[in-house]
Amino acid sequence: MKTIEVCLTPELLHQHSIVEKVAVVVDVLRASSTMITAFAHGLERLMPVAYVEGCMALQRLDYLSAGERDGAKVEGFDFGNSPYDVMNGELKGKSLAMTTTNGTLAIEKSKSAKQLLIGAFLNLSALANRVKELDEDTLVLCAGWKGQMNLEDTLFAGALVAQLTNDFKIKGDSALAAQLLYENAQNDLYGVISQTSHAQRLNKLSADEDMRFCLKKDEYNVVPFLESEHLVIQSS
Ligand code: 3SL
């Protein structure tokens, strides 16, 4: 049986080997949720970029741009990091360059994985099915917050582990802890996550609606994956 493990923050990634594994990168609030939403609304490809300057260089190559610093849209970018920014059809068939504080950095750090997938509550079941199909040792990388673990990504990791327990063997206590936390919180995810430090940051940005949206389960059935330098989805 293949294994499922959870890395609670990119700062702990050196304790896991990623090269032979499927990596699932998650930043529930809000980068991975916004990426999934953009693909569900027609985005063709997305170049994740760790730094603002990299995104600006891609703007000059006709990419649309999205991202945040301190949660706010970067000046001069086309979109911020809200799922509501990317669901009005403007991205249909387009290329997007995106940079966020933690999410795109976590992707950058996972590029050596055998396959890199993007996860959030919005695509939970589609993602679980894809992970089962791939049937490889799998590592969930939580983007966390500036090197620290956060509860929302950990809860998502636990939700994914919970969907995979019949098919994968849990490896390590962080995966077990994530699952137990999720099982405890699953009936009131909003109530639990609204207490987190990131929810409080989003509140100051009046982004409570974003948080409610990001906690919806199985809203979309797209699973972005990294192909060369771009995230793409399987064409249907
Ligand atoms: O850190 C990130 O990647 C962002 O998702 C943070 S925020 O929700 O846009 O503030």
Site of tokens 């791939």: 134
Atom 9 of ligand 1, nearest CA residue: 71
pLDDT of 236: 66
- pLDDT of the residue at 109: 96
Structural domains of the chain ordered from first start: 3-221 (3.90.1560.10)
3-state class (DSSP) for residue 119:
strand
Ligand 1 atom nearest residue 71's Cα: 10
Rounded to an integer, what distance in angstroms lies between the CA atom of residue 169 and that of residue 147?
27
Instruction: Identify the pLDDT of residue 205.
Output: 85
Q: Could you tell which of 25, 29, 73 is best to mutate to test the pocket of ligand 1, judged by most ligand atoms within 8 Å of the CB?
A: 29
Residue indicated by tokens 């098919």: 167
**18 touches 110 (CB < 8 A):** yes
Calculate helix-pair angle for 173-185, 151-164, nearest 10 degrees.
100
Pocket test for ligand 1, best of 101, 109, 146, 201 (most atoms within 8 A of CB): 101
pLDDT tens, the chain, 236 aa long = 999 999 999 999 999 999 999 999 999 999 999 999 999 999 999 999 999 999 999 999 999 999 999 999 999 999 999 999 999 999 999 999 999 999 999 999 999 999 999 999 999 999 999 999 999 999 999 999 999 999 999 999 999 999 999 999 999 999 999 999 999 999 999 999 999 999 999 888 888 999 999 999 999 999 999 999 999 999 76
Find all residues with CB under 8 Å of 147, minimum gap 6, and list them. Answer: 9, 10, 11
Ligand 1 atom nearest the C-alpha of 70 is 10
pLDDT of residue 216: 98
Whether 223 contacts 39, CB under 8 Å: no
